[in-house]
Amino acid sequence: MSSPETDDPTGDIHPEEFRRFGHEVVDWIADYLAGVDRLPVMPDLEPGALRTALPDRAPESPESLEAVLADFREQVVPATTHWNHPSFHAYFANTASGPGILGEMLAAALNANAMVWRTSPSATELEEVVTDWVARMLGLPDDFRGVINDTASSSSLYALAAAREMRLPESWASGLAGAPPGRIYTSEEAHSSIRKAATTLGFGRDGVRAIATDDDFRMRPDALRDALEDDRAAGVRPVAVVATIGTTSTTAVDPVADIAPIAEEAGVWLHVDAAYAGPMAALPEFAAHFRGWERAHSIVVNPHKWLFTPMDCSLLYCRRPDQLRAAFSLTPEYLRTPELASGTNLMDYGVSLGRRFRALKLWFVLRRFGVDGMVSRLREHVRLTRVVQGWVEATPGWEVLAPCPFATLIFRHAPADLDEAALDRHNRALMERVNRSGVAFFSHTEVRGRIGLRFSIGNLRTTEAHLRRTWGALESAAAEG
């Protein structure tokens, strides 16, 4: 093994060393992506396994990149759960596509920090370009403007901060203490990030009112209307309604077209959480699920979920970006620049000052796939999900637990001789057996008190052959217990 070069005057590695290992890394990535389906999806390890295998402090003197890469291959990769595996079906399956990975590598090289326009005109303006492109692809009206955040949790937090600014403007100066309580309305099926945002913003746990859902897990507009009326009569100040298109548990779709007029009448902010299902708005045959979302004040869509973009990339759209800016613009003297009034300064649209060049990878993805390419892959994921649903429905002892509007099927094995408590234990155990086998990876959810497995299809490399193998693994794991 050669000793590390330390003679580069910059203190960094020599450009030729960079070139050599850069090629090696790219070769590794190409082989990894081509052969990822031969790896176990989830490693069969106990917590702490990697930590105890690695030294407890950094090396005193330089090590060679050969040594680092060897440990990456031998220690880090085997302790990794492979989200890019075609048999990853837990949570929401996603893909870091090749173009997205290349864009991410270049973003690291540029190391742009788009705090204000002049600190990175390209990162600032490409963010405007790609968020506009996605808005058009999804059929959003032209007045929606997007910014890119790390996650939907941040995007929803920022949207609700803007809602607080619109509805309780005095809170900017005096906070919420002593004032009548503000409240956010969302369905009992909403993502936990809405509750986290509410507590972070000072509304407290009681600042979220969970609205009942119907038999298909959709927010009930009549229950929303009643809750708003009750609260107003009780002196509570309604701040925002959060509707979800594609809930995290069952991918249910709240009736936004019926919710929007209720929110408008109450004068509150309407935020639509479409972190998972948002990309489906590009498919005309799914338009009904998105009816009314154009009336929202804000919408979140995650390209790192179902638009083939590597972590992290979450788009927050606001119809009135000035309202978002009102919640976050706070410019100290050292950040004042001549362009402050004319150019976009991304620091004004969220908590973080520093911002990664996330637009670059999305731009690579959108251009290399094209809208048609994306739409046809999304359509294929829906088709594959219907294939799996057909197997579940046609096989005695298995059942679907919830409607499946997109590409995430909630199902369980339900042999007739087990009671409900035993069925929950049985399904947890069979999921654990499959996950530990490394053949496929599932997560679970609770549907009206029953434990179900979530079969999410969203990886570009998933084929029917992978799904047949996984279905076989599920059937044999079910037979064992």
CA–CA distances in Å: residue 7 to residues 66, 95, 193, 364: 17, 40, 49, 36
Q: How far is the CB of 405 from ligand PLP (least distance, A)?
A: 13
DSSP H/E element including 157: helix 152-167
Query: Is the peptide bond preceding residue 312 cis, with omega within 30 degrees of 0?
Result: yes
Nearest to 427 by CA among 409, 440, 408, 414: 414
Residue 163 or residue 430: which is nearer to ligand PLP going by CB? 163
> CA-to-CA distance for 182 and 176, rounded, in angstroms?
8
Residue 63 or residue 150: which is nearer to ligand PLP going by CB? 150
Burial zone of 214 (CB within 10 Å; 0-12 exposed, 13-18 middle, 19+ buried)? middle
Residue 272 or residue 477: which is nearer to ligand PLP going by CB? 272
Q: How far is the CB of 249 from ligand PLP (least distance, A)?
A: 9
Q: How far is the CB of 244 from ligand PLP (least distance, A)?
A: 5
The gap from C-alpha 459 to its chain's centroid, in whole angstroms, comes to 14
Q: How far is the CB of 95 from ligand PLP (least distance, A)?
A: 15
Residue 182 or residue 279: which is nearer to ligand PLP going by CB? 279
Q: How far is the CB of 246 from ligand PLP (least distance, A)?
A: 6
Q: How far is the CB of 361 from ligand PLP (least distance, A)?
A: 15
Note whether 155 and 149 are within 8 A (CB): yes
Name the phi and psi angles at 419, rounded to 5.
-85, 175
Residue 155 or residue 171: which is nearer to ligand PLP going by CB? 155
Note whether 207 and 184 are within 8 A (CB): yes
> CA-to-CA distance for 377 and 394, rounded, in angstroms?
26
Q: Decide: helix, strand or coil at residue 479.
A: helix
Q: How far is the CB of 455 from ligand PLP (least distance, A)?
A: 15
- What residue number has its CB nearest to ligand PLP? 151
Residue 447 or residue 474: which is nearer to ligand PLP going by CB? 447
Q: How far is the CB of 155 from ligand PLP (least distance, A)?
A: 8
Q: Residues interacting with ligand PLP, by CB under 6 A? A: 92, 151-153, 191, 193, 244, 246-248, 273, 275-276, 302, 314
Note whether 347 and 353 are within 8 A (CB): yes
Residue 218 or residue 426: which is nearer to ligand PLP going by CB? 218
Q: What is the 3-state secondary structure (H, E, C) of 383-442?
A: HHHHHHHHHHHHCCCEEECCCCCCCEEEEEECCCCCCHHHHHHHHHHHHHHHHHHCCCEC
Q: How far is the CB of 479 from ligand PLP (least distance, A)?
A: 32
Residue 152 or residue 392: which is nearer to ligand PLP going by CB? 152
DSSP H/E element including 371: helix 359-394
Nearest to 279 by CA among 245, 323, 249, 254: 245
Note whether 149 and 127 are within 8 A (CB): no
Residue 316 or residue 384: which is nearer to ligand PLP going by CB? 316
